[in-house]
Amino acid sequence: MYRRAWLKSGLMAASFHIVPRHVLGGPGYVPPSEKIHVALVGCGGRGRQVLKEAMEQSDVVALAVADPATHFSTKNFYYRDEGGRDSTSQLIEKHYESAYPGYQCSAYSDFRQMLAEVKDLDAVICGTPDHLHAYVSIESLRAGKHVYCEKPLTHDISEARAVAQVAKQCGLATQMGNQGHSTDGMRRTVEWIRAGAIGTVREVAAWVGAKRWNPKLEGKPEMEDPVPEGLNWDLWQGPREPRPFANNYFPVAWRDFWAFGNANIGDFACHDLDAACWALDLSDPTTIEFLPAGTSNSEIGPHGCIGYYHFPAKGNRPAVKVTWYDGGLKPQRPEQWPKDQAFPGRGVLFYGDQGLLYCGGAGGEPQLIGMGDVPKIEPSIPRVQSHMRDWLDSIRSGKPAGSHFEYGARLTEIALLGALSLRTGQAIHWDSANMKAIGNDAADAIIRQPRRDGWQLNVNS
């Protein structure tokens, strides 16, 4: 029985002694017989979806939520849901009311207060806007909590390296929320590429149809709107310099603006470049050049783009060129593509010297194009029940989850290098060792963005 509800119910008939978890196991150890106590930071859109996935697991109990807003609606976006700390705490209480009559979920405006006050918390789900991912993740790890953070893992490249460093120091279970990483289709794609099903791969294309949330804007909103009732706008902005509130930012549509998001490449690359990154062991591209489609400037991302990554040879793998498309742009339909099959609006194409392999975006099933029978390749990568379950099992076992923060940071950095090229309007010649765009000093302020006082990253504790 969930111990908090048990103690509140007055059913404890005899005294007992609880052995501290740290005596039984490593950092954040949760015994198999106990529930995993989770909290959600960022109660809208994807954050609520992930919370619902967690609560479907029989060994999870949601204790608390934190969000600068009491309530908001995402019904005009693809989430078709509610958001905010009040509506989400009510969602949690309704979920547990049959098992734990009178159950109450704690709700906070500032997640730091939640970390200080909720003593029996094991793990944190971070579903905030991107500009808060690094700060929430690091503060939670430093507080001894396992962390699941939505993609992209961070908002700038220096943050990605900082989060990876802290995660390694703390030794807790982490998972970035690119859920396609846990599909069987993603694993089959990686196994087929590694086994040479299409020969040697030197080129990959990935594309997604996503476009701007604010298609008519050409920059920063000119009009100031009233701050919605119940929203702490200053807290929502976190490390960013304060700006007037506009409805174009909140909720969801903040992704369009460089201050808070990283346009489509930041939103989708951790999904749709994952298969290539994993299968071909891609990291540290030397040249990155992205070209915008439509209006883009220092405030707002483009409607779409085409981007080119050049990865140097590594071990036995030759150099690889990866081309990214979004906003409705696509690669040329291959001649080998089946005549009776529409060319999809999202996916990944691997070009091998013996054939082509297509897989759907975010972990879709692999398909050989213009080739013979499906190869008989024995599975070599362990399968998992789900992305959420993989993280929860990591909390119990101490074994890394598939998209742990060190891997997630590598994939995020690749995405953010594309955004860096878009934001500077230049090709990036990347010096990974020194985290420097060669000959482009203007890029430094984007690689390491300034932070407001009180929002510095706790990297070296």
Mean pLDDT by 10 residues, the chain (461 residues): 37 30 56 87 95 97 98 86 96 95 96 97 98 98 98 98 98 98 97 96 97 94 96 98 97 96 97 98 98 95 98 97 97 94 96 96 93 85 98 97 98 98 98 98 97 96 69
Peptide bond into 244 cis (omega under 30): no
Cβ atoms 43, 67 nearer than 8 A = yes
- pLDDT at residue 13, rounded to an integer: 28
Q: What pLDDT was estimated at residue 2?
A: 38
The pTM score is 0.93
The C-alpha atoms of residue 299 and residue 322 are separated, in whole angstroms, by 27
Letter string b/e over residues 26-36, b meaning 16 or more CB atoms within 10 A of that residue's CB: eebbbeeebbb
User: Which residues have C-beta within 8 Å of that of residue 59, sequence separation ≥ 6?
Assistant: 35, 36, 392
The long-range contacts involving 222-227, CB below 8 angstroms and separated by at least 24 positions, are none
Enter the tokens of residue 382.
Answer: 């362990």
Of 324, 267, 307, nearest in space to 425 by CA: 307
Largest CA distance in the chain: 75
Phi-psi region of 171 (alpha: psi -120 to 50; beta: other; left: phi over 0): left
- Distance (Å, rounded) from C-alpha 74 to C-alpha 52? 16
Of 292, 330, 321, give the one whose Cα is nearest residue 419: 292
| Nearest Cα to Cα of residue 403 among 377, 384, 419, 417 | 384
| CA atoms lying within 13 Å on the CB side of residue 138 | 22
Phi, psi angles (nearest 5°) of residue 191: -65, -45
Question: Around Cβ 117, how many Cβ atoms within 10 Å?
Answer: 11
Q: Give the separation between CA 120 and CA 169, rounded to whole angstroms.
A: 22
User: Hey, which bits of 380-444 come out as E strands?
Assistant: 428-431, 436-437
Q: Spell out a b/e string for 164-201, using b for 16 or more CB atoms within 10 Å of the CB, else e.
A: bbbbeebebbbbbbbbbbbbebbbbbbbbbbeebbeeb
Both structure tokens of 87 = 């509506």
Phi, psi of 100 (to 5 degrees): -130, 80
Question: What is the enclosing helix (H) or strand (E) of 457?
Answer: none
Q: What is the pLDDT of residue 370?
A: 87
Please tell me the predicted confidence (pLDDT) of residue 33: 67
In this structure, which amino acid lies at residue 288? I
Task: Output the six-digit token pair for 403.
Answer: 């998209």
Q: Walk me through the domains of the chain, giving residue ranges and CATH numbers.
A: 21-181 (3.40.50.720), 183-219+258-384+406-440 (3.30.360.10)
pLDDT of residue 118: 97
Cα(359)–Cα(19) distance, rounded to whole angstroms? 49
